[in-house]
Amino acid sequence: MVDLHSHILPGVDDGSRSFEESIEVAVAAVRDGTTIMAATPHVRDDYPTDVETMERLVSELNEILRQRRIDLQILGGAEIAIPSLLILNDDELHRLGLAGNPRYLLVEFPYLSWPFGLENEIWNFGQRGITIVLAHPERNPHIQEDPTLIEPLVEAGALVQLTAASVDGRLGRVCRKTARELIGAGHAHVIASDAHWPGLRRAGTSSAAAALHNPELARWLTHDVPAAIVDDLPIPARPRGRSRARRRLFRI
């Protein structure tokens, strides 16, 4: 599996606090079947991670994992808050590309407020050849109340990343229900762990994949689409049988 959202880099945000905790996260990810993990530290007012720090820590962590023979590749990136997205220069945006791919940016969907103007920004970035990947919109109360609000953002060109702990129910029934509705409606494209540190959201996406009871769709969400982003390949078509998957999800 390919995990495109984590806070495995130590000491830069609310994720891992040391290299030892980063290693614990990495080991847990490997045990769960993850082979590639994007390090996506926050880039926002309270955690203004700079590009150089991200790149240095990715390099250092990869070297530690190599020395300890932990078979996990760490790629770069960031989880960029919308206000920061609008002030970063082109070089910074390029280097903060999701999983090292400058044609994708992981953007933090607000936890409480509604992101007015985001649809236009998704379109504007698309005109520049950049696809916005929206991180965990299922945790926003407006989307929870009306999941169809995500439709214009997807139609504008965004991809949607759900948190594994939402899909499998660890974040509660409301997040679970919203995530399943987004999947059933075809408005979700990636499941990622959003792993922080060993005691907060464990690494891995296998439990979320199993909870879908649809192996082909689960693989598409946890491997096929993320791998295409990593390899800069076209996003593969969603598996057929979507309507049957949707009915199953809505009955849960």
Signed CA dihedral, 251, 163, 74, 15: sign only: negative
Instruction: For residue 146, give the amino acid letter.
Output: D
* CATH of residue 71: 3.20.20.140
For the chain, how big is the Rg over CA atoms in Å?
A: 17
Extract the runs of DSSP E, i.e. beta strands, from 27-166.
Answer: 36-38, 42-44, 47-48, 73-75, 79-81, 104-108, 131-135, 159-163
Signed CA dihedral, 26, 32, 38, 42: sign only: negative
pLDDT of residue 241: 62
State the residue for tokens 């830069």: 12
Model confidence pLDDT, tens digit, residues 46-56: 999 999 999 99
Of the listed ranges 6-10, 151-155, 168-172, 194-198, the one predicted with least confidence:
194-198
pLDDT of residue 219: 98
- Quick one: which of 117, 153, 162 has its CA closest to 135? 162
State the DSSP H helix or E strand holding residue 184, giving kind and residue range, or none if neither.
Answer: helix 173-184
pLDDT of residue 198: 84
Burial class for 247, CB neighbours closer than 10 Å (0-12, 13-18, 19+): exposed
pLDDT of residue 146: 98
pLDDT of residue 200: 67
Mean pLDDT of 100-113: 97
Q: How many domains does the structure of the chain reveal?
A: 1
Domain boundaries, position 28: 2-251
Q: How far apart are CA 241 and CA 245, in angstroms?
A: 6
pLDDT of residue 240: 84
State the DSSP H helix or E strand holding residue 143, giving kind and residue range, or none if neither.
Answer: helix 141-145
